[in-house]
């Protein structure tokens, strides 16, 4: 395992240099979600930079900070990485997270608890449709069903015409 010298600092946003080779894109909607998250939770994930200020990872967070009018942001200075390692980390930082999955049952339980507390589910990053699907699945898992829901008819019926019960 490699031990890097890592230091978190606060830098002015105009000191940061976005990468012209960043393959990650950020829509205005996603930047708005990041900005809402920063407002709700604080700037809890520093931007990864090289010692000269080049952004390795976190350009979306920088755009969100700029949209919020922030003058300084936390950065994690990675001075011990080579240029090749910085480019590799820029991709790995995004791709490794995409390779993860969800334990949907645990997500449902946690979302339902947050919903019960009145927490704004839009701050979590799920779109409205996905949030509704997960919460509906949680309600169904708890035995709550829509009063108009009709169960599916089994392929092999339990009773037939003429049976007395």
Task: Average pLDDT across each block of 10 residues of the chain; the chain has 165 residues. List them in order.
Answer: 80 95 89 95 95 94 97 94 91 88 89 89 84 75 63 76 75
The pLDDT of residue 142: 53
Q: Which residues are catalytic?
A: 59
> Which pTM does this prediction carry?
0.75
The pLDDT of residue 121: 81
Contacts 24+ apart (CB under 8 A), 84-88: 86/50, 86/54, 86/56, 87/21
The pLDDT of residue 5: 73
How many residues are given for the chain?
165
**In sequence order, which residues have a C-beta less than 8 Å from that of residue 6 and are 6 or more positions away?**
76, 77, 78
Residue 48 burial (C-beta neighbours within 10 Å; 0-12, 13-18, 19+): buried
Task: Note whether 29 and 52 are within 8 A (CB).
Answer: no
| Euclidean distance between CA atoms 138 and 121, whole angstroms | 14
| Euclidean distance between CA atoms 37 and 143, whole angstroms | 32
């Amino acid at each position: 395992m490699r031990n890097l010298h890592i230091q978190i600092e606060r830098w002015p946003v105009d000191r940061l240099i976005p990468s012209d080779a960043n393959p990650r894109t950020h829509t205005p909607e996603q930047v708005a979600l990041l900005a809402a998250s920063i407002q709700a939770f604080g700037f809890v994930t520093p931007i990864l930079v090289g010692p000269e200020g080049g952004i390795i990872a976190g350009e979306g967070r920088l755009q969100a900070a700029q949209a919020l009018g922030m003058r300084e942001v936390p950065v994690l200075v990675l001075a011990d990485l080579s240029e090749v390692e910085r480019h590799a980390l820029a991709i790995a930082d995004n791709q490794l997270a995409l390779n993860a999955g969800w334990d949907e049952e645990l997500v449902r339980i946690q979302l339902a608890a947050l919903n019960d507390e009145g927490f704004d589910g839009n701050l979590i990053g799920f779109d409205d449709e996905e949030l509704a699907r997960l919460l509906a699945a949680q309600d169904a898992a708890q035995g709550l069903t829509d009063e108009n829901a009709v169960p599916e008819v089994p392929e092999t019926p339990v009773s037939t015409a003429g049976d007395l019960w």
